[in-house]
Amino acid sequence: MTNEFRLNETVKISGLKELEDRLMALGQEIAGKTLRAALMKGANVLVAEMKLQAPESTETREIVLSAGPQAGEKVLHQPGFLKSRIKRKSRVRKREQVRGFRGDTAVAVRAGVFGVPYVGHIEFGTAHQAANPFIRRAFKAKRGEVLRLIITDLRRRIEKAEQANQE
C-alpha cells in the first residue's frame, strides 16, 4: 500500500493539430524532449503558485511515521517542510516503454507535493480540520497562464528544432 496521494487534473487542448504534426515530424526523441521542456516550463509556474498558496506552520511538529520501513519512528517537521516538497517531475516515454504510461502518452509531467503523506488531509480536510485546497486554488489561478506559456514555448522550440534540422 502506498501513502502517495494524487489529484489528477487533465486539460485537453484542441486546435493544435498543426503543432502536433510539426512536432511529430521532428522524430520521436526530439519531439519528446521538446514537449517535455515546454511542459516543464509551464509546471514551474504552477509549482511557484502552489508554494505561495501552501499553508506554513509556525512551529516544529513531531510526526509519528505510520508506514514504510521507519513506521512508528518520530520525526520533526520544521516550518516550511510542506513547501519544500512541492516539486515537478517528468518522464519521456522510450520507444516501446509501456509501464507508467497510458495509451499514446509520450511525456508525463507532474507538479505537486511529493513525499508528504498528510497532504490529502490539508487539501480535503478531515473530521477535525477544515479543508485548505491550496493545490486546486493554484491550478485554477494559473491554468490559463500555464496553457498559454506551454503553447508559446512549444511553438518556439519546434521552430528552433526545425531550423536546426534544415541546416
CA torsion angle 2 83 147 102 (round to 10): -10
Q: Report the pLDDT value the prediction gives residue 39, as an integer from 0 to 100.
A: 92
Each residue of 33-45: b (16+ CB within 10 Å) or e?
Answer: ebbbebbbbbbeb
Joined together, the cell numbers standing for residue 43 give: 509546471
pLDDT of amino acid 41: 95
91: which residues sit within 8 A by CB, 6+ positions away? 100, 101, 107, 108
**Can you tell me the distance from the alpha carbon of 61 to that of 36, in angstroms, rounded to the nearest whole number?**
37
Whether this model's pTM surpasses 0.85: no
Q: What integer pLDDT is reported at residue 95 of this predicted model?
A: 58
pLDDT at 6: 56
Domain positions in the chain? 17-166
Predicted confidence pLDDT, tens digits, the chain (167 residues): 344 555 566 666 665 677 778 877 887 778 888 888 999 999 999 999 999 999 988 888 887 877 777 788 888 878 888 999 999 998 877 655 545 445 566 788 889 999 888 888 899 999 999 999 999 999 999 999 999 999 899 889 988 988 887 87
